[in-house]
Amino acid sequence: MNGEKTAHFRGRLVADLAALDHEDALGLAGQKTVTLDQQSVGRLSRMDALQGQAMAQATRARRDAGRAKITAALARMDEGEYGYCLECGDEIAEKRLELDPAVATCISCASGR
């Protein structure tokens, strides 16, 4: 992969990482501990709050996984291994990288050959 394409994908990865960081900053309020004070919050309201908290935690876990995937792709870029499948070593199709610049496997390996 030439330097221009690598720079393009690096820019997209860095932008995606910044977006995840921004979403993290916005999502911290939903992860606060739900209080047990039944006087201030009714049972149904508390159940809604617990469900919202669980959803916020699941969203954060997905963002953390995305962040790890992007960080790994940037590390592969620094090592000169970006754009090559981690399983078979073949080049990953540029169209696949356009869809997800952090992808680590070619379509054949991803589909289980």
3-52 pLDDT, tens per residue? 899 999 999 999 999 999 888 777 665 555 555 555 555 666 778 878 88
**Which uninterrupted H or E stretch holds 13?**
helix 3-27
Q: How far apart are CA 68 and CA 56, in angstroms?
A: 18
pTM summary value: 0.77
8: left (phi over 0), alpha (psi -120 to 50) or beta: alpha
